[in-house]
Homo-oligomer: A and B are copies of this chain.
Amino acid sequence: MKDKGKLFVISGPSGAGKSTVVFKATEGRDDVCFSTSVTTRKPRPGEVDGKEYFFVDLEQFDEMVKNNELLEHATYVANSYGTPRAYVEKQIDAGIDVILDIEVQGARQINEKKPDAVKIFIIPPSLQDLERRLRGRGTDTERAIEARLIRARQEYAEADFYDYIIINDDAESAAKELAAIMVAERCKYSHRAHYLKEV
């Protein structure tokens, strides 16, 4: 009996270094993938359906929402995005871990529809540090930086349903923690109880 994979929901303030941590933690693994979203946005040149996104029209999207086929969904600037349950479940059944980088509100929706998803919150060592990182990137206006900091505070206050907190002080250590969490979750009693029951 092949062990199933798990859904790992990763959140954290913009500038916390989530992508680097996830990249380092999963490097070289062939049994992990990123979730592919459904979107009503038009494909850009070169984008392939089922690779960058699953492209659907608004009617199909609404149908998916109605049929509870999306684990979460949201609308940004006239385009809707969602996480397709069937795609995620298919990977998990094949023993593949699925990673989803999403903000706190989306994570909360997923937590309600799929409580066994593993919720991980990645934060910088402090908000002062986050501010330094955001300024260091040089991509945001002063106003955008302030908005991001306010948003981070809000997210911290709403993050009580996460299972784990990773403090990204050093990307290598943070990646080791994420990798350890992914291993540990596969050892959970609920995930392996069948080994005891087969006796």
Contacts and interface: CB of A to CB of B under 8 A. Distances in A.
Q: Which residue of A185, A186, A195 has the most chain B CB atoms within 10 A of its CB atom? A: A195
Nearest to A197: B156
Interface string A109-123: 000000000001101
Do most interface residues of chain A lie in helix, strand or loop, or is the interface mixed? helix
A79 B156 CA distance: 52
Contacts of A157: 196
A87 interface: no
Interface string A121-163: 1010001000000000000000000000000010011011011
Interface in A171-195: 176-177, 179-181, 183-189, 192-193, 195
Given A177-B183, A181-B184, A183-B176, A167 B195 contact: yes
B164 A193 contact: no
A180 B160 CA distance: 23
Contacts of A192: 164-165, 167
A199 interface: yes
Nearest to A161: B189
A121 B195 CA distance: 11
A92 interface: no
Nearest to A164: B187
A102 to B, nearest CB: 17
A187 B177 contact: yes
Nearest to A191: B165
B196 A159 contact: yes
A164 B167 CA distance: 24
Contacts of A160: 189, 193
Given A162-B189, A163-B189, A167-B192, 8 more contacts: A121-B189, A127-B199, A156-B196, A164-B188, A164-B192, A176-B183, A180-B181, A180-B187
Please list the 3 inter-chain residue pairs (A to B) with the smallest Cβ-Cβ separation, ordered nearest first. A184-B184, A180-B183, A180-B180
